[in-house]
């Protein structure tokens, strides 16, 4: 069975390395970008199946990169992995073309969430996907805070 080819994009090197370590047993991580500009270059040359990207990155933010990626690599699906739980960010991500949205720290099984999300992406008309547990509550809401 062909492993899904993933390109990572996050401005924090520790996050990129952590993602690589936890994803590599099941998925093929083909590269890691430290900013949105590098993400666009790597996506064009590597043609990954999936990009897992943060929103806040230098040079070109993840939302702008997702909009540009629709022309550069139209077959590639973008999943955001971000700290932003606000509905406005979720809406902006899907408007930019995201196929999925995960909130950092909102799941104890990141690989399982990604596996479920990527499984849903293999359909031809895959709808944007937010895991059910994350669609209900943000981390702040889950802890009883307003998130403001």
Q: What would the pLDDT profile of 50-106 be if each residue is shown by its tens digit?
A: 999 999 999 999 999 999 999 999 999 999 999 999 999 999 999 999 999 999 888
- How many domains is the chain built from? 1
Q: Is residue 113 part of a domain?
A: yes
Average the pLDDT over each of 2-11, 89-98, 109-118, 124-133 and give the range with the smallest value: 124-133
Interaxial angle between packed helices 62-72 and 87-95, expressed in degrees from 0 to 180 and rounded to the nearest 10: 20
Q: Is residue 148 part of a domain?
A: no
pLDDT per residue as tens digits for the range 15-38: 999 999 999 988 999 999 999 999
Q: Is residue 112 part of a domain?
A: yes
Strand, coil or helix: 102: strand
Residue 68 sits in a domain whose CATH number is: 3.40.50.2300
145 pLDDT more than 50:
no
pTM: 0.81
Structural domain range at position 44:
5-142
Average pLDDT, integer, range 120-126: 54
pLDDT at 138: 45
pLDDT at 7: 98
Q: Is residue 117 part of a domain?
A: yes
List the structure tokens of 80. 């955001």
Q: Is residue 17 part of a domain?
A: yes
**How many angstroms separate the Cα of 56 from the Cα of each of 34, 108, 122?**
11, 22, 27
Q: Is residue 14 part of a domain?
A: yes
Q: Is residue 116 part of a domain?
A: yes
Q: Is residue 29 part of a domain?
A: yes
129 pLDDT more than 80:
no
């Amino acid at each position: 069975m062909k492993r899904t080819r993933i390109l990572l994009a996050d401005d924090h090197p520790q996050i990129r390395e952590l993602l690589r370590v936890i994803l590599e047993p099941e998925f093929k991580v083909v590269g890691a970008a430290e900013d949105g500009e590098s993400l666009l270059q790597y996506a064009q040359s590597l043609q990954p199946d999936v990009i897992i990207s943060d929103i806040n990155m230098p040079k070109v933010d993840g939302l702008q990169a997702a909009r540009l990626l629709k022309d550069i690599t139209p077959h590639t699906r973008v999943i955001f992995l971000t700290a932003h739980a606000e509905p406005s960010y979720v809406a902006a991500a899907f408007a930019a073309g995201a196929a999925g949205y995960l909130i950092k720290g909102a799941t104890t099984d990141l690989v399982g969430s990604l596996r479920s999300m990527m499984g849903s992406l293999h359909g031809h008309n895959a709808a944007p996907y937010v895991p059910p547990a994350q669609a209900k509550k943000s981390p702040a809401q889950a802890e009883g805070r307003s998130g403001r």
